[in-house]
Amino acid sequence: MSQEKITLEVFRFRPEQEDNPVFQSYEVPLRKDWVVLDALNYIKDYLDGTLSYRWSCRMGVCGSCGMMVNGTPVLTCATFLQKFAPGPIRVEPLSNFPVVRDLVIEMTDFMEKLKKVKPWIIRKDNQEGPEGEFIQTPSQLADYKQYSMCINCMLCYSACPVYGLEPGFTGPAAIALAQRYNMDNRDEGQEQRMELLSTDDGIWQCTFVGECSEVCPKNVDPAGAIQRYKVAGATDWWKSFLMPWAKP
């Protein structure tokens, strides 16, 4: 009995070979336990070794295998072929990013924006806490834990219509990670981050479409993080307006 198969229509762009992208079709086994990444690895190993794409852990942790599958940004290591049977399945690079080759995107813009929001603990001094370390209670951890689950997969950027239209927008993941540190009781860098993110390209660019939270594989809810940041920004502005003497 012949094995059941499914067709993948894969985005191909080889700049040394063609001026414009094309789609190439491949037939792969349709197995119950296979994800889209398994199918791409099958193509790479047995059908076409020239296919280029990123992946690493295959466990939904590294975030490097994000692609568009039938128009939706997903982690290909967590997206089963059976969901799309009988096919075909169209696989493309993440939207809103320049394409380097095939399914590989250029991520420099995201990395620069991530660095700008200072996603690390900032202290006004380097002194240790009174006990030699900064003790944190479970409730204090719970304040920011959801936002700390971001794996930098950039699916939210691909789903964000604002980032697609306004590439200067800092974007969902970077703002959510800034909020993760703002809400950490050990951090003292909120004022520095607010100065950056209260600009035109920061939190106020977000129109709260919410697609970023819909596609997030780790339920980080970047849309919610941005709205909380807006409340904090508005509160900060009113305080500076009504009580200018209270601003440090």
* CATH match of 5-105 with 3.10.20.30: yes
Q: How confident is the model at residue 49 (pLDDT cuts 50, 70, 90)?
A: very high
- pLDDT higher than 70, residue 235: no
Instruction: Provide the residue ranges of all domains of the chain, joining segments of one domain with +.
Output: 5-105, 108-243
Of 55-69, 121-135, 148-162, 202-216, which gets the smallest average pLDDT?
121-135
Whole-Å CA distances, 215 to 73, 109, 135, 148:
7, 20, 34, 17
User: Which token pair is 123?
Assistant: 């202290």
Q: How confident is the model at residue 126 (pLDDT cuts 50, 70, 90)?
A: low
Q: How confident is the model at residue 242 (pLDDT cuts 50, 70, 90)?
A: low
CB 26 within 8 A of CB 68: no
Q: Which pLDDT does position 133 carry in this prediction?
A: 77
pLDDT tens across 136-173, in order? Answer: 899 999 999 999 999 999 999 999 999 999 999 999 99
> With pLDDT > 70 as the criterion, what percentage of the chain qualifies?
90
Q: How confident is the model at residue 2 (pLDDT cuts 50, 70, 90)?
A: low
- Taking residues 49-76, what's their average pLDDT? 96
- pLDDT higher than 80, residue 243: no
Q: How confident is the model at residue 247 (pLDDT cuts 50, 70, 90)?
A: low
User: For all residues of the chain together, what is the average pLDDT?
Assistant: 90
Q: Is 67 exposed, middle or buried (0-12, 13-18, 19+ CB in 10 A)?
A: buried
Phi/psi for 243 (5° steps) reads: -130, 65
Looking at residue 92, its amino acid is: E
Q: Which pLDDT does position 127 carry in this prediction?
A: 64
Residues 6 or more apart whose Cβ sits within 8 Å of residue 13: 20, 21, 22, 99, 101, 102
Q: Which pLDDT does position 1 carry in this prediction?
A: 44
- Taking residues 35-41, what's their average pLDDT? 98
Strand 89-92 relative to strand 5-12, pairing? parallel
Class of domain 108-243: mainly alpha
Q: Which pLDDT does position 173 carry in this prediction?
A: 96
pLDDT tens across 188-198, in order? Answer: 999 899 888 98
- pLDDT higher than 50, residue 238: no
